[in-house]
């Protein structure tokens, strides 16, 4: 579409009506105030100034809170407040009548380039040089959503805007691209901020909640839609290394370095079973019929233990591993248990007899093991400084494939329900997706800034949850294969 021509001869005759003088450095933004008689300006001199449109005179004193340049200002829909974005990374809320700062919101780590209100006065959107866009709750002052745009934008977020209905937001950038973001979807897929490094994560059977286990010994229950903690369980006295839901979503199983495994009632928040294992617990899992719990220890005794879930007593103990056992999985019918160890083997155990029915020499210091959904293959993740994921035939133990892409240890594996994709998390901070027919890498999720320790897929196969030592749990969209948001 061609643009209409501009008559330059006519425009040369246009001259400014009035000149407003007072700022000592560049003016960055200007807005009209209600009534059409006043304007507001912001400047690199660190001030905001109100002006009379007719006289060109400044109204009152400078509005100032520090010396940082003010790059952006926006008026609330009710005309009573003004939000500003500054070079110090803060978003400030000002009273129009007083010219004073009501509150200051911090979260951005660099210059705030743009600010915008939503239509109901409840939210402010900001875009920053730190390549994030943040949605702020005006009443609480909290960041309720933070979007990590550098996955898509190649530069800073220079402008932001809400849609009229508040369901979409747009970000523009110096890379010449503009993106729109669906806010309800972002909330479902937003990262969830924990307190200390997150070692373990699991999604509820209905996909509406998430449980994380952390270095600070807490087990947290999250609402996925809001990104808020519903409850926090604190009876563990050391880092929580493994968490699992039961089938009906009523109970959560956790294992900890405090040498206990605990079963929690989700509704009441109470511990309904505490098993003293005598060794730090590295991994826990329910049997398919939920009558037993399998635990493995991070210590070097090389044991896999099965526990009666009603009594908390040991049913059996398997000791053929010669180094610490790092991962354990049950097969579908509960007749076999798969374990992986730092002794560079993966073993399949017969639950009834307690015998090893398959021992695979993986050549890896094994951190994670998993069956394929049809149980024809076993995936192992770990390290030997050259190879990080190996696939084996579950009957013969023969090597099927070596997956190349990660550059450091692989700590966690998950298979999609349909068996077409294997997903891995690594010390290299990435999460990778693999086609299980070609064994080629098909996608890489980046965003974590430290080890990825655990991953889990929602029952409907649409959402991937990840836990990292960077103090966050994150959610990712598996359908469009892209992360949408930063942790809050």
The one-digit pLDDT tens for each residue of the chain (488 residues) are 334 444 545 545 567 788 899 999 999 999 999 888 999 999 999 999 999 998 999 999 999 999 999 999 999 999 999 999 999 999 999 999 999 999 999 989 899 999 999 988 999 999 998 888 888 989 888 877 777 665 554 567 888 888 877 777 888 876 556 767 765 544 444 444 444 567 889 989 888 888 989 888 999 998 876 677 889 999 999 999 999 999 999 999 999 999 999 999 999 999 999 999 988 899 999 999 999 999 987 556 789 999 999 999 999 999 999 999 999 999 999 999 999 999 999 999 999 999 999 999 999 999 999 999 999 999 999 998 889 999 999 999 999 999 999 999 999 999 999 999 999 999 999 999 999 999 999 999 887 878 999 999 988 888 898 988 877 788 888 887 766 544 43
Domain ranges of the chain: 19-188, 191-477
Partnered with residue 426 across adjacent β-strands are 410
For 173, the token pair is 């950038």
Q: Quick check: do 19-188 and 191-477 share a fold?
A: yes
Alpha carbons 239 and 471: distance in angstroms, whole number: 13
Instruction: Provide the CA 400 distance to its chain's centre, in angstroms.
Output: 33
* Predicted pLDDT at 194: 43
* Predicted pLDDT at 186: 45
Please report where in the chains the tokens 């009506």 appear, as a residue: 17
Using an 8 Å Cβ cutoff, are 474 and 487 in contact? Answer: yes
Alpha carbons 152 and 268: distance in angstroms, whole number: 42
Q: DSSP letters along 448-484, please?
A: -SS-EEEEEE-TTS-EEEEEETTSEEEEEETTTTB--
For 241, the token pair is 């290394």
Alpha carbons 164 and 141: distance in angstroms, whole number: 22
Nearest-CA neighbor of 361 among 382, 378, 347, 348? 347
For 431, the token pair is 């999460």
Nearest-CA neighbor of 459 among 254, 202, 227? 202
* Predicted pLDDT at 162: 84
- Topology annotation, domain 191-477: Methylamine Dehydrogenase; Chain H (2.130.10)
Strands, E assignment, 204-334: 209-214, 219-223, 228-233, 240-245, 251-256, 260-265, 271-276, 281-286, 292-297, 304-308, 314-318, 325-330
Q: 19-188, which class in CATH?
A: mainly beta
> What residues have CB less than 8 Å from 320, skipping those under 6 apart?
302, 347, 356, 359
Q: What does each C-alpha distance from 113 to 13, 87, 142, 162, 224 come to in angstroms?
A: 33, 8, 19, 15, 30
The answer, as to whether pTM is greater than 0.75, is: no
Instruction: Provide the CA 228 distance to its chain's centre, in angstroms.
Output: 13
Nearest-CA neighbor of 83 among 132, 124, 118? 124
Using an 8 Å Cβ cutoff, are 42 and 29 in contact? Answer: yes
* Predicted pLDDT at 164: 79
Using an 8 Å Cβ cutoff, are 160 and 171 in contact? Answer: yes
Alpha carbons 177 and 302: distance in angstroms, whole number: 54
* Predicted pLDDT at 155: 63
> What residues have CB less than 8 Å from 437, skipping those under 6 apart?
420
Using an 8 Å Cβ cutoff, are 449 and 104 in contact? Answer: no
Alpha carbons 340 and 345: distance in angstroms, whole number: 6
Alpha carbons 405 and 420: distance in angstroms, whole number: 18
Alpha carbons 116 and 124: distance in angstroms, whole number: 6
* Predicted pLDDT at 487: 41
């Amino acid at each position: 579409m061609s643009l209409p021509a501009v008559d330059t001869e006519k425009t040369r005759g246009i001259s400014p009506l009035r000149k407003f003088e007072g700022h000592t450095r560049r003016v960055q933004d200007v807005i009209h105030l209600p009534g059409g008689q006043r304007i507001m300006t912001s400047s690199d001199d660190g001030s905001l100034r109100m002006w009379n449109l007719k006289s060109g005179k400044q109204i009152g004193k400078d509005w100032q809170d520090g010396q940082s340049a003010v790059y952006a200002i926006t008026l609330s829909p009710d005309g009573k407040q003004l939000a500003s974005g500054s070079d110090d990374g803060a978003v400030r809320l000002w009273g129009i009548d007083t010219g004073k700062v009501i509150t200051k919101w911090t979260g951005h780590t660099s210059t705030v380039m743009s600010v915008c209100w939503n239509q109901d006065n409840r939210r402010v959107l900001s875009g920053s040089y730190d390549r994030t866009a943040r949605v702020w709750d005006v009443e609480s002052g909290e960041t309720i959503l933070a979007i990590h745009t550098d996955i898509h934008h190649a530069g800073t977020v220079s402008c932001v805007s809400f849609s009229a209905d508040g369901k979409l937001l747009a970000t523009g950038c110096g890379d010449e691209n503009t993106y729109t973001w669906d806010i309800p979807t972002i909330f479902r897929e937003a990262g969830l901020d924990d307190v200390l490094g997150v070692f373990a994560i699991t999604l509820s059977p209905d996909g509406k909640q998430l449980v994380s286990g952390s270095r600070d010994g807490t087990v947290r229950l999250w609402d996925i839609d809001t990104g808020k903690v519903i409850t926090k369980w604190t009876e563990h006295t050391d880092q929580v290394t493994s968490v699992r839901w039961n089938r009906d979503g009523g109970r959560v199983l956790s294992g900890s370095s405090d040498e206990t495994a605990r079963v929690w009632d989700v509704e009441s928040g109470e511990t309904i079973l505490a098993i003293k294992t005598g060794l730090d617990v590295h991994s826990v899992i329910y049997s398919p019929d939920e009558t037993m719990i399998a635990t493995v220890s991070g210590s070097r005794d090389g044991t896999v233990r099965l526990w009666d879930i009603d009594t908390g007593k040991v049913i059996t103990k398997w000791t053929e591993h010669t180094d610490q056992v790092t991962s354990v999985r049950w097969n579908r019918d509960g007749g076999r248990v798969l374990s992986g160890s730092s002794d560079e083997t993966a073993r399949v155990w017969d639950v009834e007899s307690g015998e090893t029915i398959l021992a695979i020499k993986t050549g890896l210091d094994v951190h994670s093991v998993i069956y394929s959904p049809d149980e024809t293959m076993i995936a192992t993740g770990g390290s030997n400084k050259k190879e990080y994921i190996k696939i084996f035939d579950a009957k013969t133990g023969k090597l099927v494939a070596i997956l190349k892409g990660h550059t450091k240890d692989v700590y966690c594996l998950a298979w999609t329900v349909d068996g077409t994709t294997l997903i891995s998390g690594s010390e290299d901070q990435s999460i990778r997706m693999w086609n299980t027919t070609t064994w080629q890498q098909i996608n890489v999720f980046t965003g974590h800034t430290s080890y990825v320790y655990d991953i889990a897929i929602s029952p409907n196969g649409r959402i991937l949850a990840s836990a990292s030592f960077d103090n966050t749990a994150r959610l990712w969209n598996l359908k469009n294969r892209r992360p949408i948001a930063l942790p809050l």
